[in-house]
């Protein structure tokens, strides 16, 4: 940091200070809300990252948090698009999305009720909504429409009980649920990992979502260490990162697999067509042999008859 301050920031101060000291009030209010007045003054007004090193760490954490929330708004949109276009849930585990949705709803309620900064958990709400959409699509494309309706009703009831009602779930129960949410988050990845392993491919699983998750979970470890003193949340992100790394490794390993992105069915169809073609060729050869045999028999019979007449 000392070298950055001396070699980069100090020479640029005459140019940066007029800009940072004349930012619109709305921008200053947002930055003060994120960093506090002391860090706002040190980083923006004084352009100094040495006197208060904790401010730089906090600024990096906030920037990562905002980036994660922004990415979370679209992280599973490619997955939803793949499902809708293919009309197939091949390679996707409903159990995995069910457990992940439950984990996110509990974690969201826990963070909200404890008053933690939104930048440390904001993506949870966005991903949970997308998980619900994907879960419903998986059930619908698996011809389980009734179960899809029941799933949506169950999610709505859970949101009401955990976040809207103040009497159904106590603070101590919420802490216990958060401990369980970490286990659910871990368990949610296992069915998907097993599904990919058994099918030998990733099917309709979105690689963008997997790698986005991997980066997001790693970033969340950093932001949690900087802003949230809660081991339950930290351990959940660490475990999630490990299993997301396994999923990412599977995506790379099975990248050219025939069953990835539904190519397995296409190959099966091609093999079937080749089999039909081979059977057709064999049938034609058999018919040609029969015709030759009949022709030879027909040629031999007239000769035999004429010999009898001559005798």
**Count of CB atoms within 10 A of residue 275's CB?**
10
Helices 145-159, 122-141: inter-axial angle, 10-degree rounding: 160
Residue 262: left if φ>0, alpha if ψ -120 to 50, beta else—which one?
Answer: left
Measured between alpha carbons, how far is 195 from 201 in angstroms, rounded to an integer? 9
pLDDT of residue 129: 93
Say which range, 68-77, 95-104, 124-133, has the weakest mean pLDDT.
68-77
Sort 142 into a burial class: Cβ within 10 Å, 0-12 / 13-18 / 19+: middle
Token pair of 145 as six digits:
């429409």
Model-level pTM greater than 0.75? Answer: no
pLDDT tens digits for 245-273? 999 999 999 887 766 654 444 444 444 43
Please, where are the H alpha helices in the chain?
A: 2-4, 10-20, 25-35, 37-40, 53-72, 77-86, 94-114, 122-141, 145-159, 171-199, 207-227, 231-253, 263-310
pLDDT of residue 151: 95
**Residue percentage of the chain with pLDDT more than 70:** 83
């Amino acid at each position: 940091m000392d070298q950055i301050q001396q070699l980069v920031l100090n020479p640029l101060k005459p140019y940066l200070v007029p800009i940072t000291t004349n930012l619109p009030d709305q921008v200053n209010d947002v930055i003060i809300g994120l960093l506090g007045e002391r860090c706002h003054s040190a980083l923006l007004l004084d352009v100094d990252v040495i006197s208060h090193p904790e401010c730089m760490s906090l600024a990096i954490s906030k920037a990562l948090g905002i980036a994660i929330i922004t990415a979370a708004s679209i992280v599973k949109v490619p997955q939803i698009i793949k499902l809708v276009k293919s009309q197939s849930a091949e390679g996707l585990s409903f159990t995995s999305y069910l457990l992940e949705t439950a984990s996110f709803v509990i974690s969201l309620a826990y963070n909200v009720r404890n008053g933690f900064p939104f930048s440390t958990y904001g993506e949870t709400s966005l991903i949970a909504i997308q998980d619900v959409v994907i879960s419903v699509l998986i059930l619908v494309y698996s011809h389980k429409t009734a179960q899809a309706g029941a799933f949506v009703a169950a999610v709505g009831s859970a949101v009401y009980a955990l976040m809207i009602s103040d009497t159904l779930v106590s603070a101590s129960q919420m802490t216990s649920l958060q401990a369980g949410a970490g286990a659910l988050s871990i368990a949610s990845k296992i069915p998907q990992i097993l599904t990919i392993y058994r099918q030998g491919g990733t099917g309709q699983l979105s690689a963008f979502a997997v790698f986005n998750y991997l980066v997001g979970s790693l970033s969340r470890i950093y932001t949690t260490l900087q802003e949230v003193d809660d081991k339950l949340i930290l351990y959940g992100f660490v475990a999630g990162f490990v299993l997301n790394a396994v999923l990412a490794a599977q995506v790379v390993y099975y990248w050219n697999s025939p069953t990835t992105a539904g190519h397995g069915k296409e190959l099966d169809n091609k093999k079937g067509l080749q089999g039909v073609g081979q059977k057709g060729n064999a049938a034609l050869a058999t018919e040609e042999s029969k015709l030759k045999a009949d022709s030879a028999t027909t040629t031999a019979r007239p000769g035999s008859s004429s010999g009898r007449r001559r005798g």
